[in-house]
């Protein structure tokens, strides 16, 4: 991208973000409606009903029973230089 294109894209991005951030404020100023909810106050708002369930710790287990043969991922043949029994290491 050229330097001019980068500047245009950056300016448009800032313009859109500014519009998104300040649109509610501008809308309220234009309509003159300041009766929106005030944080921390309940003034005439309806109660919000929720369904909740209390969680308690408990043991969970998952048992799987299956039948079959276990096959190795690879097979290795061991060969030794001398034959015999290992007595100690």
How far, rounded to the nearest angstrom, does the alpha carbon of residue 89 sit from its chain's CA centroid? 53
The predicted pLDDT at position 43 comes to 56
Residue-wise pLDDT tens digits, 58-82: 898 888 888 999 888 898 888 888 8
- Whole-number percent of the chain with pLDDT over 70: 84
Whether the model clears a pTM of 0.75, i.e. scores above it, the answer is: no
11: tokens are 């300016």
Q: What is the mean pLDDT of the chain?
A: 82
What residue ranges do the domains of the chain occupy? 1-29
What residues contact 37, with CB distance under 8 A and at least 6 apart? 45
């Amino acid at each position: 991208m050229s330097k001019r294109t980068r500047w245009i894209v950056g300016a448009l991005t800032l313009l859109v973000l500014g519009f998104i951030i300040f649109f509610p404020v501008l809308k309220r100023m234009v309509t003159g409606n300041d009766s929106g909810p005030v944080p921390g106050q309940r003034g005439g708002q309806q109660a919000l009903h929720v369904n909740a369930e209390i969680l308690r710790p408990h043991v969970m287990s998952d048992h799987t029973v299956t039948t079959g043969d276990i096959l190795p991922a690879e097979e290795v043949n061991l060969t030794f230089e001398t034959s015999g029994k290992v007595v100690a290491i």
